[in-house]
Amino acid sequence: MVHATPAPLTQLSEEESLFSSTVRRFAEESIAPLVRSMDEEQQFAAGLIDQLFSLGLMGIEVPESLGGAGGSFFDAVLAIEALSTVDPAVAVLVDVHNTLCVNAIRRWGTPAQKERWLPMLASETVGAYALSEAGSGSDAFALQTRAEAIDRRFCLNGRKLWISNAREAGLFVVFATLDPAAGYRGITAFLVETGARGFTVGRKEDKLGIRASSTCELIFDHCEIPEENLLGERGKGYKVAIETLNAGRIGIGAQMLGLAQGAWTHAARYARERRQFGKPIAEFQAVRFTLAQMATDIEAARLMVYNAARLKDSGQPYVREAAMAKLFASQVAERTASLAVEIFGGNGFVRDYPAEKYYRDAKIGKIYEGTSNMQLATIAKQVLAGR
Whether residues 109 and 164 share a domain: the answer is: no
The number of folded domains in the chain is 3
Whether residue 7 is contained in a domain is answered as no
Whether residues 202 and 270 share a domain: the answer is: no
Q: What is the pLDDT of residue 10?
A: 79
Three-state DSSP string of 134-150: CCECCCHHHCCCEEEEE
Q: Could you tell me if residue 3 is left (phi over 0), alpha (psi between -120 and 50 degrees) or otherwise beta?
A: beta
State which H helix or E strand residue 375 sits in. Answer: helix 372-384
CA 23 → CA 51, 133, 291, distances in Å?
Answer: 11, 34, 25
Whether residue 5 is contained in a domain is answered as no
Whether residues 226 and 308 share a domain: the answer is: no
Last residue of some domain: 77, 96, 125? 125
Judge contact between 235 and 141, C-beta under 8 A: no
Judge contact between 79 and 26, C-beta under 8 A: no
What are the phi and psi torsion angles at 169 (to 5°)? -75, 150
Long-range contacts of 368-373 (CB under 8 A, 24+ apart): 368/162, 368/164, 368/252, 369/245, 369/248, 369/249, 369/251, 369/252, 369/326, 370/138, 370/245, 370/249, 370/323, 370/326, 371/137, 371/138, 372/327, 372/330, 372/331, 373/138
Whether residues 379 and 266 share a domain: the answer is: yes
Whether residue 264 is contained in a domain is answered as yes
Whether residue 261 is contained in a domain is answered as yes
Whether residue 194 is contained in a domain is answered as yes
Distance CA(258)–CA(83), nearest Å, equals 7
Whether residue 3 is contained in a domain is answered as no
CA 293 → CA 197, 264, 297, 319, distances in Å?
Answer: 54, 11, 6, 28
Whether residues 323 and 349 share a domain: the answer is: yes
279-280 and 275-276 strand pairing: antiparallel
Whether residue 6 is contained in a domain is answered as no
- 3-state secondary structure (DSSP) of residue 10: coil
Whether residues 247 and 136 share a domain: the answer is: no
Torsion, Cα of 284, 290, 291, 295 (10° steps) = 150
Range of the domain at 25: 14-125
Q: What is the pLDDT of residue 9?
A: 72
* CATH for 215: 2.40.110.10
Distance CA(225)–CA(343), nearest Å, equals 53
- 3-state secondary structure (DSSP) of residue 67: coil
Last residue of some domain: 125, 141, 165? 125
Distance CA(243)–CA(318), nearest Å, equals 11
What are the phi and psi torsion angles at 136 (to 5°)? -140, 80
State which H helix or E strand residue 373 sits in. Answer: helix 372-384
Whether residues 229 and 254 share a domain: the answer is: no
Distance CA(370)–CA(355), nearest Å, equals 26
- Per DSSP (E only), the strands in the chain are 126-130, 146-150, 153-164, 169-177, 187-193, 199-204, 215-226, 230-231, 275-276, 279-280
Last residue of some domain: 82, 108, 125? 125
Q: What is the pLDDT of residues 89-128, one digit of tens each?
A: 999 999 999 999 999 999 999 999 999 999 999 999 999 9
* CATH for 114: 1.10.540.10
Whether residues 96 and 42 share a domain: the answer is: yes
Closest CA to 294 of 350, 334, 321: 334
**Per-residue tens of pLDDT for the chain, all 387 residues:** 444 445 667 789 999 999 999 999 999 999 999 999 999 999 999 999 999 999 999 999 999 999 999 999 999 999 999 999 999 999 999 999 999 999 999 999 999 999 999 999 999 999 999 999 999 989 988 999 999 999 999 999 999 999 999 999 999 999 999 999 999 999 999 999 999 999 999 999 999 999 999 999 999 999 999 999 999 999 999 999 999 999 999 999 999 999 999 999 999 999 999 999 999 999 999 999 999 999 999 999 999 999 999 999 999 999 999 999 999 999 999 999 999 999 999 999 999 999 999 999 999 999 999 999 999 999 999 999 988
Whether residues 102 and 146 share a domain: the answer is: no
Closest CA to 163 of 184, 194, 142: 194
Q: Could you tell me if residue 232 is left (phi over 0), alpha (psi between -120 and 50 degrees) or otherwise beta?
A: left
Catalytic annotation, residues: 369
Burial of residue 298 (number of CB atoms within 10 Å: 0-12, 13-18, 19+): buried
Whether residue 90 is contained in a domain is answered as yes
- 3-state secondary structure (DSSP) of residue 342: helix
Whether residues 357 and 376 share a domain: the answer is: yes
Torsion, Cα of 220, 221, 226, 229 (10° steps) = 10
Whether residues 357 and 308 share a domain: the answer is: yes
Whether residues 244 and 351 share a domain: the answer is: yes
